[in-house]
Amino acid sequence: MALLDLINISKSYESQMILNEIDFSINEGERIAIIGKNGGGKSTLMKIINGTLEVDSGRRIVQKNLKVEMLDQTPRFEENKSVKEAIEDELKELKDAKSRYEEVLKKLESDFENETLLKEQESLVNFLDTHKAWNLDDKVERVLQEFDLKEFENRQVNLLSGGEQRRVTLAGLIT
C-alpha cells in the first residue's frame, strides 16, 4: 500500500520545465534516495512530496495522518542553543498538546460530564499515544542516544561540524 503517490506530476519555473509528467510512489517500509545533477529537480520533487510546493498539473495523494518532513540542506540554529535544547525545540507541538491535555484534565475535575472537553481529551490522548509523547524527557534522551549525540548534548549546536549539525536536525525531525 502506497503511503504517498505522485501521479502525472509536472512543475516548471517560468519557461523551464523541471518535472514533466512524472509518477512516484513511496510504500510502507521503503527507503528511498533521490539522486541527480544540480538543477535536476531534486529539491522541487521533495517540496512537492512534503506538500510545501504546488504542482502545475497532476495529483499528489497522501495517506491520512502521514507527515512528510524534509531535512534542511543547511541547518540553522539559534545562537547559544545546546544540542539538547535544539532537539527539545522540535517538540513544541507535542509539549503544547501535553500541556493542553493537563489543562483539560483539570477542567474535567469540576465539569466531568462536559462533552466538548471529553472529546478534546480523547483527541489529545490519541495524538499523544500516536507520537509516544507521554514522557518527552525520555524521548529526547532516546533520540540523543540513537543519533550518537549524547556526548554533545550540552555543547552549542552552532559549534558542531556540518555533519553533526545535520544529525541534530534529523533527530529533531524524527522526535
Q: State pLDDT tens for residues 83-118.
A: 999 998 888 888 899 999 999 999 999 988 899 999
Dig out the grid coordinates for 136 from the structure. Answer: 518527552
The position carrying cell 550540552 is 154
Same domain for 55 and 98, yes or no, is no
The total domain count for the chain is: 2
Question: Which domain range does residue 34 map to?
Answer: 2-62
Same domain for 57 and 6, yes or no, is yes
As a whole number of angstroms, the distance between CA 53 and CA 11 comes to 9
Same domain for 160 and 89, yes or no, is yes
What does pTM read for this prediction?
Answer: 0.61
Same domain for 52 and 103, yes or no, is no
Q: Which among 147, 155, 156 has a CA at the least distance from the CA of 175? A: 147
> In the chain, pLDDT over 70 holds for what percent of residues?
99
Q: Identify which of 14-18, 32-36, 64-68 has the greatest average pLDDT.
A: 14-18
On whether residue 71 sits in a domain, the answer given is no
Rounded (10°) CA dihedral 140, 122, 65, 129: 30
Q: What mean pLDDT do residues 40-52 have?
A: 90
Same domain for 45 and 7, yes or no, is yes
List pLDDT tens digits, range 113-164: 899 999 999 999 998 988 888 888 888 898 899 989 999 999 999 999 888 8
Same domain for 133 and 102, yes or no, is yes
Same domain for 48 and 103, yes or no, is no
On whether residue 74 sits in a domain, the answer given is no
- Supply the pLDDT for residue 175: 66
As a whole number of angstroms, the distance between CA 153 and CA 171 comes to 12
- Supply the pLDDT for residue 11: 94
**Max intra-chain CA distance, the chain:** 63
Asked whether the beta carbons of 54 and 43 are under 8 A apart, the reply is no
